[in-house]
A and B are shown apart, each in its own frame.
Chain A
Amino acid sequence: MLTRTTPTLSDGTPIEDLVRPATREVELRVLSDREIYELEMERVFGKTWLLLGHASEIPNAGDFVMRDMGNDSVIVARDRDGSIHVSLNVCPHRGMRVCLADAGNTPVHKCIYHGWAFKPNGEFVGSPVAEEKMHGEILPKSELGLRKARVHIYAGLIFATWNIEGPSFDEFLGDMKWYYDMIFNRTKGGWEVLGPPQRFIVNANWKAAGEQSAADGFHTLTLHRWLDEMFGNGGSELTSTMYGVEVGSEHGHALRCQSLSKKFARAKDFDNGSMSIEERWNILPAPGCTPEMLDEVRANLTPEQMEQLMTNPPQVGGMFPNVLLACIYAPQPDGRILGSMALHTYIPRGPDKLEFVNWVFCESGTSQEDRDVMLKNTIFMLGTSGLVEQDDSDTWPHMTLSARGTQGRKATMKYQAINANPPPKNWRGPGLVYDGFTKDDTQWNWWMYWRELMLSAD
């Protein structure tokens, strides 16, 4: 249980006042303040489940990748028994980083400084010149291993947390799992990573990116309006795609479920109850799926989830605190509609810096030809050179600069576009459901969970 305290920052500001429910405002200083950042590393990144990668990145025993949990480096490694372990990349001897490569394969991780050695599961193997007892006799070997995080593998995605006794991963996802399963858990083989993630530095606070991931629809209309200018027929198509249903949770997770009938001419009759799942799937399968995958998807999802996929599939959103998810349609010149599937994490690198990590995926059953097309499409739209996201990564630094100003830091970010609609009739899914045009509710929920965690005792 979270213990409610009334912590204040060193200047006397109560932390609870940084996020103001009465007017739905967030003080801009949260994007620049060092003290807030240090607290976040304990109370947010030290407490929640964090995405570190995908099991398909380390398929063989001994495979490892070096990743980050908040501002700590960790080793993600596969042991001989096939299990995946996450260990703090800090030698218990003198604090040297044990792992120095982005990826590799080794049965033993040996620190280059004094030679302490560890198994892929983090256990201490020994130190050199055993008879001279470099590691002493005060502590047993069982206490000299790398510090281990708690790990959960969800549909191949590797999550870990330092909150060893805290909520389970399923509790963390809560009602949202019903929607995430439609994306990650829809086929037998599941998602497969197409290569190592793109990585680059953005001079912005991690929350500028994190809160946008909680289904910010409005920014698409302005920051990404080039989409209409280049691919639209006069400039109103983007507005129409802002209709749909946004779903969220008290834990800040959020997804935008876009209405297929409003988005695609070929899907205009998908809502009226006259078409079977097969008919609709063959016209427009879920993004990233092919018509041949229908039986497999049906075996993995409930009829209610199938109906949801064929009317308002979740397409973009995120997972608190620092994950963005894109599972979007990618129309091709030949009329086919493939998918673009990517996950990002925004690694905090200080109050004014984040590392953008971008993995690209496909369903493991995807043909080589389609993989190539999907990958090129994704590189074209998302990540380092992606035409959509290059605008985002040039925007967040300006917000962070604003937050450094003596007056600017007193300004607020506003989340006052409130959805007052009831959930749509016959809505099948759980969670907090917001019907109609995009609004700020899911992002506001993100901030409220951030506030709850920041108010919790360490």
Chain B
Amino acid sequence: MSTDVAPALAPAELDQAAPRRIMIGSELYSRIVEAYYDEAETLDALRFAEWTEWLAKDVRYTCPQRLTRSLKDQDKSIDRRVMHFDENHGTLSARVRRLRGNSAFAEDPPSRTRRLITNIRITEADEPGAYAVRSYFLLTRSRFENANLALMSGERRDIVRDLGDRFELASREIILDQAVLGMPNLAIFL
């Protein structure tokens, strides 16, 4: 596994303790990317119960708001007070239970979605056997006869744990690009 690990391409001001980067093209990197592609397919194919199996029991899943703030106030552009999602395993499972019931009309008929996951960069996380995975996503969502795709773009800041034969998602923070979302709800997972 040590061949997969290289010094992080981090800003110079970071000291030797900067997290080590998992090299693109390494076996570990490829295994993690595969897990992300699998997750995207699971969600796009509406296999929500299967998706919950990828969530760690202690998962934390959040989506802060974005605000239009001046350049000097950019540190306040990501606002974590009232978020769009603030979930744990129990609430995510409850959302999935609803979707599998008879009356989740926001997604029945379901949207047709594609989750395009790119720009994946991985570093070792503090927890042994865990990795910080940052990726970009573009989600396309098509509903009913509307020929215009609803789009959502953003970044996922995840921690995944290596369980040997698979990975699990320990945390996900979704950083959206829109201050005012262009879709009428988040009845879908990001």
Contact = CB atoms under 8 A, between A and B. Distances in A.
A399 interface: no
Contacts of B180: 199-201, 355
Contacts of A194: 81-82
Interface string A55-98: 00000000000000000000000000000000000000000000
A200 B178 CA distance: 9
A381 B107 CA distance: 16
A363 to B, nearest CB: 16
Contacts of B103: 224-226, 229
Contacts of A385: 63, 84-85, 185-187
A101 B73 contact: yes
Contact of A226 (B67, B76, B104): B104
Contacts of A395: 105
B101 A226 contact: yes
A171 interface: no
Contacts of A384: 84-85, 181, 185-186
B48 to A, nearest CB: 14
- Helix, strand, loop or mixed for chain A's interface? mixed
A375 interface: yes
Contact of B105 (A201, A223, A379, A386): A223
Contact of B69 (A102, A198, A223, A375): A102
Contact of B185 (A224, A360, A375, A389): A389
A394 B98 contact: no
A390 interface: yes
B65 interface: yes
Given A200-B180, A226-B98, A384-B181, A391 B106 contact: yes
A264 interface: no
Contacts of A376: 86, 91
Contact of A104 (B70, B81, B98): B70
Nearest to B103: A226
Interface string B73-89: 10010010111111100
Contacts of B67: 101-103, 196
Contacts of A387: 94-95, 98
A199 B179 contact: yes
Q: Of residues A102, A194, A380, which shows the largest number of chain B Cβ atoms within 10 Å of its Cβ? A: A102
Given A100-B68, A387-B95, A360 B101 contact: no
B78 to A, nearest CB: 11
B47 interface: no
B182 interface: yes
Interface residues of A, number: 42
Interface residues of B, number: 38
Nearest to A389: B185
Given A104-B70, A376-B91, A195 B82 contact: yes
A339 to B, nearest CB: 16
B68 to A, nearest CB: 5
A197 B104 contact: no
Contacts of A226: 98, 101-104
Contacts of A383: 84
Q: Of residues B82, B85, B181, which shows the largest number of chain A Cβ atoms within 10 Å of its Cβ? A: B82
B183 interface: yes
Contacts of A100: 68, 70
B74 to A, nearest CB: 11
Nearest to B88: A376
Contacts of A389: 185
Contacts of B128: none
Given A203-B184, A230-B97, A230-B101, A196 B69 contact: no
B106 A104 contact: no
A202 B187 CA distance: 13
B84 A198 contact: yes
A104 B76 CA distance: 9
Nearest to B83: A379
Q: Of residues B83, B102, B184, which shows the largest number of chain A Cβ atoms within 10 Å of its Cβ? A: B184
A210 interface: no
A232 B131 CA distance: 41
A204 B67 CA distance: 24
A104 B143 CA distance: 37
B65 A393 contact: no
Nearest to A387: B98
A397 interface: yes
Contacts of A223: 105
A195 B69 contact: no
Nearest to A347: B180
Contacts of A195: 65, 79, 81-82
- Report, nearest first, the 3 A-B pairs whose CB atoms are least far apart: A195-B81, A195-B82, A390-B185
Interface of B: 63, 65, 67-70, 73, 76, 79, 81-87, 91, 94-95, 97-98, 101-107, 143, 179-187
8 contacts: A101-B68, A194-B82, A201-B184, A226-B104, A230-B97, A379-B85, A379-B86, A390-B184
